[in-house]
Structures are given as structure tokens and as C-alpha cells.
Amino acid sequence: MTPTRQGSFRLFRLAGIDLYLHWSWFLVAAYQITSRKGEYTSPVWNAVEYLTLFAIVMMHEFGHALACRQVGGQADLIVLWPLGGVAYVNPPPRPGALLWSIAAGPLVNVVLVPILSGLIFLAKAGGSPDVIECLRTVWFINVFLLVFNLLPIYPLDGGQILRSLLWFVCGRTRSLVVASALGLAGAACLLGVAVWLQSPWLGILTGFIALGCWRGFRSAQALARVQDLPRHTGFACPACRVAPPQGQLWQCGKCRNAFDTFVTGAVCPHCGEKFPATGCPDCGRLSPLSAWLIAPPKL
């Protein structure tokens, strides 16, 4: 349901991270820019304001992606769409790594507050009323985005920060269950607010939040299944360094049968299909089976 590379086009690549823009962004941008009247002397300023907000959302998402890479995680894709941005981050499965990957996004908005305040101060000294008006609007929306993102409603940033803090206390799986349950309760409240404000945007966003919570429950379930299984010796995930669990946990993409890829050497025992990469049930990353082999200790 969240936007992917499909229906999006690449704007640029920075520090190994591709920035994509979803087509629906243009529709909403055109609507936002043309429908607002009266605040500026020229409608060009509506466009400037919208593009500035676009830049702020982009910097927020780069905050997530760069922090995730810093702690050794995977992050190479950001897609911007009318509901904001999505940074596809996969930090290593440690609470501290998740906490930093999530907190770095809102931190960008925090840093922008004094910068925008300074610019308003300068504009007041010699800028046109349009510049001042534009900067003030951007200042308020930046603060609004910061506060909204920090609501403790999973999977908003605040909810994910709460989850990573709970992870320190009650573990990876239970923290996800608790955060998702609180997220659903929060989504119910947001739905009430959306109805009260008669805001279709907030309604749609609430739908995505509820969907994110449901996904949270599902992956907590999957984690719980894997957690207590015995582990294979001689192998470790090259990304998270956890030994893979024993069991028929891998599904063949061709014949749909389940098998234990570490027993069969990344070959489906039912149809003979070979797999160039093996997914880690703990961190979700794909690596070739050869990279999972632990070298025997030198004698």
C-alpha cells in the first residue's frame, strides 16, 4: 500500500540513496499550489512554499536513511508522495540502532527550527512581505510535522521510538506487540479527530497507520515463531551475525513448498530451484549462502 519504485521516477542519488517521487505528488502539488489564494501577492509564492516543504520532508527522510546506514543498516530508497515520505530503512536488529535510525528524522526538524527562525529574523530586516509570509508558513508546518511525527502512535516516528525504548525493557517481539496495540488505540483517536475536523487527509493517513499496526502484529507473530527455535551451527547472517534457526522456514518461489535452506544448500528439495540469496528470518536481509558460512577456526 505504501508507495514503491513503481509509479515513481528517480530524482537523484545521494550517498548511495535513491530519491524517488511518486506520480500522485504532482496531482496534489498542482491542487495545493493553484487552490490557495490571497496570502501572497503572486501565486508563484505558493509554489515556492510547497517546494520548500517538499525539501523539508526530503531532509527528514534522509535523516532516517543516513542514520540507518551509520549504524550498519540497509537504506537505499526514499519515496516521496503526497502523505510525506517513506524511507525504506532496515537497521540491524538492535534497539539502539533502531532508536537512532528513527530519531534522526525528527531531529532534522528540530535543527530546522532555529535556522528558520534566523531566516525570518533576517527577512524582517529587509525582505519583502512575501518572503516573510512564506518563511513563517514553513516554520509552522515544520513544527507541526515535528509534533505530529512524535505522537507515540506506531508506525509514526514517535511510536517507533517508543517501540525501540520498550525493546530495551521487554525484548524485540513484545515491544512490537505493545507498540502496535498502542498504535491501534491512537489510530482510533485520530479517526475521531479526522471525523471531527472533516479531514479526508487525516482519514487516509489514519488508514495507513492502522495498516502499519496490523503489519506490526504480523511481524511480531513471525518473530515469535522463529525466536525459540534451535539454531544451525556453522552459519551466521552476514548482516546481523545471528545464527539461522532450524526449520522449514524458507518458501520456494517456484513451487511454493517450504524447506530448510541451510540443510539443502539453498536448493529447493522439491523442484530443484537454486536460490542466489537467502533471507535472514531475524533481520530480513538477503545474502548469498556462501556469505553465511562461518570459517572454521584456524589450528
Q: Using CB under 5 A, which of 18, 76, 133, 273 touches Zn ion?
A: 273
Q: Using CB under 5 A, which of 3, 101, 146, 157 touches Zn ion?
A: 157
Closest CB 160 distance from Zn ion, rounded Å? 8
Distance CA 108, CA 191 (A): 28
- Cell numbers given for 255: 513451487
Residue 157: is it exposed, middle or buried by C-beta count within 10 angstroms (0-12/13-18/19+)? buried
- If one asks whether residue 283 binds Zn ion (CB under 5 A), the answer comes out as yes
User: Which residues between 42 and 101 bind Zn ion (CB under 5 A)?
Assistant: none
Which of these ranges, 172-180, 182-190, 196-204, 264-272, lies near Zn ion under the rule CB under 5 A? 264-272
Closest CB 156 distance from Zn ion, rounded Å? 8
Q: Using CB under 5 A, which of 204, 255, 258, 294 touches Zn ion?
A: 255
Q: Using CB under 5 A, which of 67, 146, 166, 280 touches Zn ion?
A: 280
279 DSSP β-pair partners: 286
Distance CA 79, CA 88 (A): 8
Is the backbone peptide bond immediately before 155 cis, with ω within 30 degrees of 0?
Answer: yes
Q: Which is nearer to Zn ion, 184 or 240 (CB)?
A: 240
Q: Using CB under 5 A, which of 268, 278, 289, 292 touches Zn ion?
A: 268
Q: Using CB under 5 A, which of 68, 179, 202, 239 touches Zn ion?
A: 239
- If one asks whether residue 231 binds Zn ion (CB under 5 A), the answer comes out as no
Distance CA 174, CA 178 (A): 6
Q: Which is nearer to Zn ion, 43 or 272 (CB)?
A: 272
| Helix ranges, the chain (H) | 24-35, 44-70, 95-126, 129-149, 157-170, 172-197, 200-227, 261-264, 289-292
- If one asks whether residue 254 binds Zn ion (CB under 5 A), the answer comes out as yes
27 contacts: CB under 8 Å, gap ≥ 6: 82
Closest CB 39 distance from Zn ion, rounded Å? 28
Which of these ranges, 10-18, 110-118, 215-223, 251-259, lies near Zn ion under the rule CB under 5 A? 251-259
- Asked whether 254 and 241 are in contact (CB, 8 A), the reply is no
